[in-house]
Structure 1
């Protein structure tokens, strides 16, 4: 168990940023848990160790998991509390504070996204996902120069003309990412520099942020990451909170009708469909359970080999990708009784560690795989092992269990996972799946 008193004493005596290697930090506080080197969420939120360095008047600066940690004197640099909530979970009282926190930003960099037009266009119009439309609206409303971080083209101005492309920075070699980050910052210094003394706000995933942060700091720039550690759904909710009309932007494609749940639906759909946020079962189980002890929705994804296994068992083609989505913790109606289920108990306890009798998803998979192998019964251990090899899960939390059941229905109608049955349109896959499931009631 780490002890933070020595670190507090060191920080209290410092008047400038304190950068520690991982070994140096552990020599001060003791051994850190494995989650500290794997998950950025461990370094945020209302946690004893986070409150320790805050009590010394420091906030977390640059973080390289398992390598270095930098503590910076001054107020918290986050613009949003890193709680695990999405639409409805942002503290309304802090909305004004977040708005005033944008004062002093000189440049805004936003991330590219996978969803693009099929024809060349100005970069600001090429990317078409709900995340990008919100990023763009936020950047344009700030009144400062903004650029797009493109895995293919480096730093891109909004009006630069681009053709569609397919490149995802986390899939590139470390040598490419290192050169890419240096190239981006040098170009930014050329186009909008000099960077010394300027504050650059980054709206991107950790791979993009890590690639450019060190080079920005070397140029004398300050770096802000207001969305650090947030899931896709949380990011969309954060942008909604900044907008004049939360949840509805000009290009979002959301029906601006009177029912506010439409904005939540769009945010959850975008989150559940973003495979970039998917975790393997091992990664999910390695997380702090407290991070996911809340209601919410989740989506399960299968790899190519797993899709082949399901195709064999069903006799119907299952493509790699999204196969199932569900919820945890929704209020039961019409009784109004609150559920004690959480995302953690549903995924870790019922899906990955349970019995098919208590998990619709396990029963579905088990029925298909048992038929594929010619077995009369579902082998629970083999099923769990198969899930760990071939599946990944995207998790989006919520703080509104009362509307979660209705929200799930709208989300499922939009994303239409092939292995969901209840309330879904009949398809050959679902018809065959029902037949196989009858053998394992």
Structure 2
């Protein structure tokens, strides 16, 4: 199932989801259609999302239950939180019966609601077998409009985002993928490729399956003539067998260490200083290096073999750069959970993007990279690899201006 614009569907496209939008406190003071009665910025952004991407949509009203957008309602003042437990249960049954009556159990549903509107429905709808996502879960209500407006402003991006995660979904089903990083074995890896890290506590918000959110994207061998192997790069991030490691060789470890220090309200003045350090300094940093390794080793990793010639314009760079930029251009739509370690990062790139990445965050992306990505996934699914480049010739030069580019190595 993919997001397609509900008002522009054609018969060759899959139908968009059913969208449920929670009502709001701010309303007109006279009778009007439900879609026009609620006037908050958050509701207007949710309505635009529903009309752009939904095959149909409904309003979750604290007073009326499941409401058709064109249904005329009079002004009212009712708070779902203020209802008794019995009244809340009745409200849930009203919503569920309304969905069942309309034969929507087989359709994919997006609930643009948080707080009691989402929590009261979650388990009940799950028992009925509805396929549902809650993009605004655990997100402050004052951010809802920002995220929805971000999507509404560039609707094609949501389609690209879903295609990207569809490809990752296919990749994850291949043998040896998504095992805990601690259990990774070099013998199973290709010589070259792009890697994707996932945190078991971080989920996508707008993808149509329940799946983990990417938290870092990387590659290696981006200098002409480089002999760097994929495992060499991953091993540098993971650290040594005893749990030690070197954050001076891995920007990923550096950022994780900074975030751990901030989360513990500690300081380590030598952390990140210089390209080399004395044994005395390294010994003083050992405990933090161990904690960094523990965090990184608990992540899961997927990888894509990409074997073209090393270089700044290699297919590996093409996929890495555009994947990061797709997820972050104009701001992320997959906001991290409140418990994500990266929220403590001293890097504004990390905090703003929800990725342990600095390079290419917020850049423009070329949607054509998804076709190259898909070809490489399809080749890999057949147990094959390809050494020739599939990326457009001179792709870096031809991309739109205004990108941030590569700011840090490794």
TM-score strictly above 0.5: no
> TM-score scaled by structure 2?
0.35
More helix by share: 1
